[in-house]
């Protein structure tokens, strides 16, 4: 991230240290983490601002959005899974083998409640400040912004607790000496009412200007409120063990529609014409505030050796396998599943960018493994080491932010809301999804993909020669010999069609013992809109099915897929479907989710045992646990 973000993180850490209690083991064993007492300081605007930054800082760590929330708690699903079968907690949870004692549950639960408690302090103390009513206009504006940020973040953190655990302890006042710190479980829809109230009030207090750092603004709060409403109106696991949605679910969709329409009328966002460039910018910490609506700041603040508590696993655990050399190595833990890659259509630039079927060698070159089980190690490609800064501080942890909401997500939510409320897709829904698909197929992106033709098969080739693509102004096109017949090259495999080529590159043929082979590269014509756009005439269900697929292709590996499937009541169905497809590839293809997932249980996580041990008011466990 940029220098401004480094300063932001340092301020967050300082503010967090002033607001947080000790997190030592003794404290965790004697207090319920859903509530704790925090010291506070609000004598001037600087202190109020620092306290507000401390609310952000609660989740800027591995337990929050640097690792656990987007990469552990979102797996396994129909697009990705954690590799391996060891008993590490970050493996057993995605593989649906976690138990209430598994430590990651409590770690994430704790940081979310820590953020809520910090927000409660800010929300109470700022209106009590003399400057809040008698300060200068600039002081009042800053304090109101701080208040709005705290209200938004309290709502956001509660929405994440409800998304992951359903009914949870709920408190909107700061904890004080003598308080009963053992909160009972509150119905999730009561909590949703407060979340919506908090976020609406935040919208009225937050600035509309495009941000210059990771702090939320008016339009970001509206976008996140729209997402909250889709979850509130979607399916969730009820206390009786069945999947239900509220009878008035369309009321939530209507609130979402209003928020989205307001954003579109103001028009603060736009799509980057290049889908790959969105993530290259993210890897290089070039924050794109017209594309990235809300993101969590992450940064390595200390010596690069070992793990840093406020850094990120993006680009290290969810990136192509990379050997140490030109780039730092990776430790691939989140892999994609082959059926997801095969769900993309030809010509979709997301296909070979989002999914990496290659590894990166020490010299920085890409290799496309050809073994029969290579597809088990296909990786998310969005955060490859190739796109990162290669800084010495990003060797095992990175500075890559967690982008919680992108503009394409908002467009797809708009399409979904319109389809739901109008009992089928209207022109607004079609326009929204087609904007996303237009970019996916590069209709507005400079350059093209590449196709390859055997102009001359040559002679005397006793082994497959190496084919090297160079020039043309584009990126990553790769081709290999597929077969030879009579010592001639007779078929090719296009490993990657590349993107951004403005002229035909040169293909150099080396090795193989033969001579005379000529492979010609050509620019691929971009498809017409009738091949890209979703057509009119789809039913409500057909359009929803299309959206389910489109959200996977556009937002894959960004931390929401599993929860999206749950709110559509599709998680079990998609796991079974993915298993059937992997078995059709080969019966030994590993996909433990199918064996371990239990409907009516795994749609929610268990209440952490640590919390239940100290909070006797949590008198039940989530269904199935």
In angstroms, rounded to a whole number, what is the distance separating the alpha carbons of residues 584 and 582? 5
In angstroms, rounded to a whole number, what is the distance separating the alpha carbons of residues 156 and 341? 32
Q: What is the 3-state secondary structure (H, E, C) of 145-173?
A: HHHHHHHHHHHHHHHHHHHHHCCEECCCC
Pairing of strands 379-380, 355-356: antiparallel
* Mean pLDDT per 10-residue interval, the chain, length 625 residues: 43 45 29 46 92 96 96 97 93 97 97 97 96 96 98 98 98 77 90 98 97 96 98 98 98 98 98 98 95 93 63 94 96 96 97 98 96 96 96 89 98 98 98 98 96 98 97 97 96 97 98 97 96 97 98 98 98 98 97 98 97 94 97
* Residue 167: Cβ within 10 Å count: 23
pLDDT of residue 26: 26
Handedness of CA 443, 445, 446, 451 (dihedral sign): negative
In angstroms, rounded to a whole number, what is the distance separating the alpha carbons of residues 520 and 238? 60
508 beta partners: 468
pLDDT of residue 302: 61
Helix ranges, 44-136 (H): 45-57, 89-92, 103-125, 130-134
- Hey, what long-range contacts does 134-141 have (CB within 8 A, 24 or more apart)? 135/45, 139/45
Name the packing angle between helices 249-266 and 218-232 (round to 10°).
160
pLDDT of residue 38: 43
pLDDT of residue 183: 86
pLDDT of residue 548: 98
pLDDT of residue 20: 39
* CA 501-503-509 angle, 5° bins: 90
In angstroms, rounded to a whole number, what is the distance separating the alpha carbons of residues 214 and 204? 19
Pairing of strands 402-406, 292-296: antiparallel
pLDDT of residue 299: 86
CA distances from 251 to 162, 226, 243, 392 (A): 19, 12, 19, 50
CA distances from 276 to 193, 476, 540 (A): 38, 12, 31
Pairing of strands 366-367, 236-237: unpaired
The number of C-alpha atoms within 13 Å of 535 and in the hemisphere containing its C-beta is 5
Decide if 71 contacts 317 (C-beta within 8 A).
Answer: yes
For the chain, give me the number of helices (H) and strands (E)?
21, 18
Closest residue by Cα to residue 55 from 145, 121, 148, 118: 118
8-state DSSP, 537: -
Closest residue by Cα to residue 125 from 227, 11, 254, 19: 19
522 beta partners: 451
Tokens at residue 543, please? 């359009």
In angstroms, rounded to a whole number, what is the distance separating the alpha carbons of residues 226 and 240? 28
366 beta partners: 360
Query: Which position has the token pair 């594309």?
Result: 291
pLDDT of residue 310: 85
Cis peptide before 76 (omega within 30 of 0): yes
DSSP code string of 257-272: HHHHHHHHHH------
Q: What is the 3-state secondary structure (H, E, C) of 329-368?
A: CCCCCEEECHHHHHCCCCCCCCHHHHEECCEECCCCCEEC
pLDDT of residue 2: 40
512 in the Ramachandran plot: left (φ > 0), alpha (ψ -120 to 50) or beta? Answer: left
pLDDT of residue 392: 86
In angstroms, rounded to a whole number, what is the distance separating the alpha carbons of residues 236 and 162? 10
């Amino acid at each position: 991230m940029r220098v401004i973000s480094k300063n932001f993180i340092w301020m967050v850490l300082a503010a967090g240290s002033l607001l947080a209690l000790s997190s030592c083991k003794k404290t965790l064993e004697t207090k319920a983490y859903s509530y704790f007492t925090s010291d506070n300081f609000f004598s001037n605007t600087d202190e109020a601002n620092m306290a507000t930054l401390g609310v952000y800082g609660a989740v800027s760590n591995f337990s929050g959005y640097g690792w656990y929330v987007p990469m552990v708690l979102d797996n396994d699903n129909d697009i990705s899974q954690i590799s391996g079968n060891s008993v590490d907690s970050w493996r057993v949870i995605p593989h649906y083998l976690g138990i209430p004692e598994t430590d990651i549950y409590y770690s994430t639960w704790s940081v979310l409640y820590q953020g809520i408690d910090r927000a409660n302090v800010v929300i109470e103390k700022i209106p009590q400040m003399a400057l809040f009513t008698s300060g200068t206009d600039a002081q009042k504006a800053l304090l109101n912004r701080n208040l709005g940020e705290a209200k938004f973040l309290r709502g956001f953190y509660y929405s994440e607790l409800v998304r992951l655990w359903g009914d949870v302890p709920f408190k909107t006042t700061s904890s004080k000496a003598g308080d009963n710190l053992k909160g009972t479980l509150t119905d999730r829809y009561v909590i949703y009412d407060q979340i919506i109230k908090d976020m609406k009030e935040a919208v009225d207090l937050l600035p509309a200007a495009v941000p210059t750092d990771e702090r939320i603004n008016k339009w970001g709060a509206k976008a996140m409120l729209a997402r909250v409403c889709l979850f509130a109106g979607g399916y969730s696991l009820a206390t009786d063990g069945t999947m239900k949605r509220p009878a008035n679910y369309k009321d939530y969709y209507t609130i979402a529609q209003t928020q989205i329409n307001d954003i579109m009328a103001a028009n603060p966002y736009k799509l980057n014409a290049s889908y790959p460039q969105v993530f290259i910018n993210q890897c290089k910490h070039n924050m794109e505030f017209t594309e990235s609506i809300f993101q969590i700041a992450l940064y390595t603040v200390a010596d690069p050796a070992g793990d840093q508590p406020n850094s990120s696993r993006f680009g290290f655990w969810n990136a192509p396998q990379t050997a140490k050399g030109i780039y730092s190595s990776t430790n691939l833990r989140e892999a994609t599943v082959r059926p997801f890659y095969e769900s993309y259509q030809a010509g979709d630039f997301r296909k070979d960018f989002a999914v990496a079927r290659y590894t990166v060698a020490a010299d920085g070159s890409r290799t496309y493994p050809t073994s029969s089980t290579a597809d088990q190690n296909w990786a998310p490609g969005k955060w490859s080491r190739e796109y990162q800064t290669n800084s010495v501080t990003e060797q095992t942890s990175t500075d890559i932010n967690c982008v919680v909401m992108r503009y394409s997500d908002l467009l797809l939510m708009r399409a979904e809301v319109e389809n739901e409320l109008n009992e089928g897709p209207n022109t607004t829904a079609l326009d929204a999804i087609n904007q996303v698909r237009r970019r996916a197929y590069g209709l507005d992106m400079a350059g093209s993909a590449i196709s390859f033709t055997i102009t001359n098969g040559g002679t005397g080739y006793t082994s497959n020669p190496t084919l090297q693509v160079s020039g043309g102004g584009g990126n990553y096109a790769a081709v290999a010999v597929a077969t030879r017949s009579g010592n001639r090259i007779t078929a090719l495999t296009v490993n990657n069609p590349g993107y951004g080529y403005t002229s035909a590159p040169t293909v150099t043929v080396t090795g193989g013992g033969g001579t005379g082979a000529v492979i010609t590269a050509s620019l691929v014509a971009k498809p017409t809109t009738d091949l890209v756009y979703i057509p009119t005439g789809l039913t409500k269900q057909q359009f929803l099915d299309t959206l389910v697929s489109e959200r996977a292709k556009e937002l894959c590996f960004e931390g929401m897929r599993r929860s999206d499937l749950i709110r559509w009541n599709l998680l079990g169905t998609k796991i079974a479907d993915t298993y059937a497809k992997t078995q059709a590839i080969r019966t030994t293809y590993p996909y433990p989710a199918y064996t371990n997932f239990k409907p009516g249980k795994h749609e929610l996580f268990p209440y952490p045992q640590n919390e239940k041990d100290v909070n006797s008011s949590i008198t039940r466990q989530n269904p199935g646990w």
